[in-house]
Chain A
Amino acid sequence: MNCTDFEVLLADALGDELSVADRPAFEAHLAECEKCRREYETALRTVTTMRALPGPARATVRREGNRLVIDDRPPHALRVPWWLRGGVFRYAASILIAFAAGYAVHAGLMMTEVGRPVDRLVQKDDGIEAPTSPNSLQRALVHTHVRNPARSDLAKCLIAMAKPTG
């Protein structure tokens, strides 16, 4: 094969259409002719560079009634799951809502356990508060302790329990 024959086959080689029959002669000429090899390599690099440009082979188009619609996002772009699209603020809001709901549930439970309207406390002469009925004494003590454990005074509570009410 000479350089003129090589030129004839060059387009086929670049277009991936070189026949099996022509391939050996083509490759043999590439091996022996520096000029043709350089020409082939630069042409192949050109085609490869053009092919490497990122982009979709075709976009996804859908019909909505009488209109054609292309999605605004590039078709080859990474699809972000719906739950990641809101960003950080959505996460922060979710966490806040979860905490608020937890607190509300917790507070609600405490109300049902302890805070059923606690019997009105009566101020005694010695400054110790005592509930109006013995049955509510325990509830009042627990209520006081839970609301403010640091300040609840067990000794006063015991005295109050020992004293007769009314």
Chain B
Amino acid sequence: MTVIGDPSGRGFEQYTGEVYGWAYRLLGRHHDALDVVQDVFLRWDAQCARQAPKQPRGWLRRVTLNRVIDLRRQQQRIAEPQASACAESTVAETRSPQDVGMRIDQEALRDDITTALDRLSDVQRSVIVAKVYDDMTFAQVAEELGLAVSTVKTHYLRAVGTVRDRLKRRWAKEESS
């Protein structure tokens, strides 16, 4: 059981589950996702004290993704200890060699995807996550971000292209092996 904090009646509660979902998908670790949720909550609280965001969900998605990228960068900076710790936790949490292999593979995949997301602009990042993970339509994303639908489509294509370029190397390795 993890206590996130006192929502102070500022509407964080209804978005907490989604914030956790975005963070978990991209980080793959429960406690990392909770760290992100708590950090985003603090920023949300500070933002609401100044001025409540006009598009709360869009604001939270952008801040969450930025925080996820920051956390990934920190983890990559201490890559060696993190890798060994990750390997230990992976072995401890799973039961069979297949599970271990699958988790390591997923970890590498997450690493590739977040590295690609790191190269995108805030808007592109928000668009691709809203489309892929939240199943929003282009019209909904456009309304949330205050952009034209055609602009959102352009951002989406560029974002997919960037992630694809990153994943292509991975696919080439898989096919060669």
A interface residue numbers (CB < 8 A to B): 7, 10-12, 14-15, 17, 42-43, 45-47, 49-51, 53-61, 63-64, 66-74
CA distance A17 to B157 in the complex (A): 14
Cβ-defined contact, A50 with B21, below 8 A: no
Min CB distance B138 to A, Å, is 6
If A15-B131, A59-B24, A69-B1 touch, whether A53 touches B113 (CB-CB below 8 Å) is yes
14 sampled A-B residue pairs with Cβ under 8 A:
A7-B157, A14-B160, A43-B161, A46-B160, A47-B160, A55-B21, A55-B24, A55-B25, A59-B16, A59-B20, A60-B17, A68-B4, A68-B12, A70-B34
- For residue A17, which residues in chain B have a CB less than 8 angstroms away from its CB? 137-138
**The residue from A53, A56, A60 contacting B110, defined by CB atoms under 8 A apart:** A53
Establish whether residues A67 and B153, one from each chain, have CB atoms under 8 Å apart when the complex forms.
Answer: no
Nearest Cβ distance between residue A126 and chain B, in whole angstroms? Answer: 71
The distance in angstroms between the C-alpha atoms of A67 and B30, with both chains bound, is 19
Q: Identify the closest chain B residue to A60 (Cβ).
A: B17
- Chain B contact residues: helix, strand, loop or mixed: helix
Residues of B within 8 A of A (CB): 1-7, 12-13, 16-18, 20-21, 24-26, 28, 30, 34, 37, 106, 109-110, 113, 128, 131-133, 137-138, 153-154, 156-157, 160-161, 163-164, 167-168, 171
Are A11 and B1 in contact, with the CB atoms below 8 A? no
Asked if A67 contacts B132 (CB within 8 A), the reply is no
In-complex Cβ contact of A51 among B37, B133, B157 (8 A) = B133
| 9 closest residue pairs by CB, A with B | A58-B17, A55-B25, A11-B153, A59-B20, A46-B164, A68-B4, A55-B24, A58-B21, A61-B16
